[in-house]
Amino acid sequence: MSVDERSDQVSSVTPSSLPHTDDSSLKHLLDSDRAAHRSGRRRIIIVTVLILIFLAWFIPFIPALYFGSISVKRLDAKGKVTDSEVGPATQQWVPIKKVSRHVINAIIVAEDSKFYQHHGFDFEAIAKAIDLNRKRGRYVRGASTISQQVVKMAFLSREKTLIRKFREAAGTVVLELLMPKDKILEWYINLCEFGGGIYGVKPAGRFYFKTRPELLTIEQAVHLAVVIPSPNKWSKGLRAGALTPFGHRRFARIVNNLYLGGYINELQKNMALARGNFGNPIAGYGPLDDEEDCRGDKECEEGAADTSIPNEVPAVVDEKPDVATSQENKIQEETKITTTPESAATPVQDEKQPSVVHPEDSENQTEEP
């Protein structure tokens, strides 16, 4: 084709020969585009709302702990599930500043020795628990910290499932972000059970020792800490007023770790061991080998399955309350023994201090305390 022929074809193309596009077609295209855009936005909103609903269910609503009181499900003395109100506005609540320092120290030593150091999870304890469970071929021990237990007791059920553990972990992260350590510990001492359907340190002090929480002595505090891991199984000695052999050993281990951690001095340690069995001496309190545990005792293993595993006892930090225990001072005066009130909360600065007796296997015994 010559150049002139191509020029004639181009010149023959007129506006009327082009495809006809009127205003209505263009409007239709624009409307379709807007509709698709709106549909996409609706899908995003729906997905976002569904995610938020899931997270609202999955992550416990930790801010509720700041709203006065919460409703929790508990087992009473007969094993019946009941609903209870717990919080600063309730009658059974006790502020941490009105609790004997010995109770706080004993609970930390027995349940979560790194409470003031970690951020909700004790990964060393978790590794030990995983290793032990792998060796036994079944779940015999947990590694829950005090923070994790607060989330579980306040918001979750008692079932042992992965979903509950994931929800507990998510709630623990939020709890540690929103709440100071002392406040977490305050919720813990008011939520935890001490056997026989008795919840909270205030009712426990009144029921077992006929005293107020600020007057609990070292021995009384240790007796309460002994039963926390499995209160219904391990409160036998506390309820009977006479420790079993296992109770003797667990009591002595907690007292010894209080001493090694600098929470009490040597005189206080010896006094606690001399009258720890409800006025009688503690017997057979030598350290136990790591391999001496439940081993075949199903009831004991079940009791130990959801407890924390402290690994070392840290020095006392200034955050802990320092409430004088006048009842202990009265006993000391009667026996003509003088102690320093602050000594139980002042760390012992001795670099040659012997290694702490690890309490991680204390719960794995064949008897109840």
Query: What tokens were used for 17?
Result: 């020969």
Model pLDDT, residue 319: 40
111-123: pLDDT as tens digits: 999 999 999 999 9
Model pLDDT, residue 356: 42
Cα–Cα distance for residue pair 247/223, rounded to 1 Å: 9
- Listing DSSP states for 61-124 in one string gives -GGGGGSS-EEEEEE-TTS-EEEEEESTTSTT---GGGS-HHHHHHHHHHH-TTTTTSSS--HH
Query: Do residues 220 and 209 touch, judged by C-beta distance below 8 A?
Result: yes
Residue 330 maps to a domain:
yes
DSSP 179: S
The band of 255, judged by pLDDT with boundaries at 50, 70 and 90, is: very high
DSSP 346: S
**Does 241 have pLDDT greater than 80?**
yes
- Listing DSSP states for 252-315 in one string gives HHHHHHHHHTTSS-HHHHHHHHHHTBTTB-----PPPPTT-S-TT-HHHHHHHTT-------PP
State whether the Cα torsion 257-181-234-345 is positive or negative: positive
What's the mean pLDDT in 32-50?
A: 80
- The torsion region of residue 349 among left (phi > 0), alpha (psi -120 to 50) and beta comes to beta
Q: Which domain holds residue 276?
A: 95-345
**Does 257 have pLDDT greater than 80?**
yes
Residue 142 maps to a domain:
yes
What's the mean pLDDT in 263-292?
A: 78
The rounded percent of the chain whose pLDDT value lies above 70 is 69
> b vs e for 35-50, b when ≥16 Cβ sit within 10 Å of the residue's Cβ?
eeeeeeeeeeeeeeee
Contacts of 70 (CB under 8 A, 6+ apart): 64, 85, 86, 87, 154, 155
Query: What tokens were used for 25?
Result: 């077609």
Cα–Cα distance for residue pair 94/367, rounded to 1 Å: 32
Which SS3 state, helix, strand or coil, does residue 156 take? coil
Residue 269 maps to a domain:
yes
**Does 365 have pLDDT greater than 60?**
no
Residue with more model confidence, 122 or 355: 122
In terms of Cα–Cα distance, which of 264, 340, 211, 237 is closest to 105? 264
Mean pLDDT of the chain: 76
Considering its fold, how many domains does the chain have in total? 1
Query: Do residues 226 and 110 touch, judged by C-beta distance below 8 A?
Result: yes
What is the Cα Rg of the chain in Å?
Answer: 32
The one-letter amino acid at 337: I
Contacts of 324 (CB under 8 A, 6+ apart): 214, 341
Residue 13 maps to a domain:
no
Residue 196 maps to a domain:
yes
Residue 23 maps to a domain:
no
- The torsion region of residue 295 among left (phi > 0), alpha (psi -120 to 50) and beta comes to left
Cα–Cα distance for residue pair 233/193, rounded to 1 Å: 12
Residue 57 maps to a domain:
no
Burial class (CB in 10 A: 0-12, 13-18, 19+), 86: buried
Weakest mean pLDDT among 76-80, 219-223, 266-270: 76-80
7-31: pLDDT as tens digits: 555 455 454 544 555 567 766 676 6
**Does 278 have pLDDT greater than 70?**
yes
CATH number of 201's domain: 1.10.3810.10
Claim: this prediction has a pTM higher than 0.95: no
- Listing DSSP states for 185-232 in one string gives HHHHHHH-B-STT-BSHHHHHHHHHSS-GGG--HHHHHHHHHHTTSHH
Which residue in the block uniquely carries the two structure tokens 């023994």? 337
What's the mean pLDDT in 231-246?
A: 86
Residue 186 maps to a domain:
yes
